[in-house]
Amino acid sequence: MLPLVTAIAPVLRGRVLFSVPTRTPRFAPTFDDGPDPATTPALLDVLARHGARGTFFLIGERAAAHPGLVARIAAEGHEIGNHTWRDEPTWLLPLEEFRENLRRTQRELSAHGPVRWFRPGSGWPTQAHLTVAEEEGLHCVLGSAVAIAGSGAGTATTDRWLSPVVRRGTVVVLHEGPQRVGVAGTVDGLLERTVRRGLSAVTLSELA
């Protein structure tokens, strides 16, 4: 585990984005670990039905395997973020290996549009990993509302307790993939509830 002082220092220096101070009634839904044929198409359908936009933090090797899904994400007005090349803890990677993973993923994703955001694998980055990401032109984003149940995709009741937590400027973190097919239902319920409260779902860049 990282020492507490080491872990919180980047936050105190404003190097990690959790939420965005704003008076505009908007929040940013974000989705990790795609793209995946088991979840991405249904998730995109839900977002389209609600007229909502989100940010997809994609894993490089999965994006390379499913370029059509990446193209659809971008074509439908969503934003793409860098979630490194493989699903592995960022903070355990040697810095040069991490840099190459970021660059490889960036090359894969940039073919579909600009990529300015980075989310570390398995939670927290070290200050050194943050520095590498910043040198590569990427800003680190975590979140201020996270679905834990259903392996991060939510369950049938998640939208009920998640919605009250979502406010102006909130960055919501959800996960997709083969074991997370409930994510589309979670997002559907969440968007139904937040729109009744006057909140719009937008990309991170639109929020920031």
List, for residues 57-68, the tens digit of each pLDDT value. 999 999 999 999
Fold of 4-207: TIM Barrel (3.20.20)
What pLDDT, on the 0 to 100 scale, is given for residue 113?
A: 95
Q: Per-residue confidence at 125, pLDDT binned at 50, 70, 90?
A: confident
pLDDT greater than 90 at residue 3? no
**Contact predicate 65/110, CB 8 Å:** no
pLDDT at site 5: 43
Collect all residues with Cβ–Cβ distance below 8 Å to 111 and sequence separation of at least 6: none
CA atoms within 13 A on the CB side of 100: 4
- Using pLDDT thresholds of 50, 70 and 90, give the confidence band for residue 150: very high
What digits encode the pLDDT tens for the residues 10-28? Answer: 454 589 999 999 999 999 9
Residues making up the chain, counted from first to last: 208
- Spatial contact of 45 and 203, defined as CB atoms under 8 Å apart: no
Which residues are known to be catalytic? 32, 175
Closest alpha carbon to 84 in 74, 98, 95: 98
pTM of the model: 0.94
Residue 1 confidence class, pLDDT cut points 50, 70, 90: very low
Q: What is the dihedral of CA 9, 10, 11, 14, to 10 degrees?
A: 130
Cα–Cα distances (Å) from 18 to 4, 91, 124, 202, in that order, read 18, 18, 12, 15
Question: Averaged over 171-186, what is the pLDDT?
Answer: 96
Predicted pLDDT at 109? 98
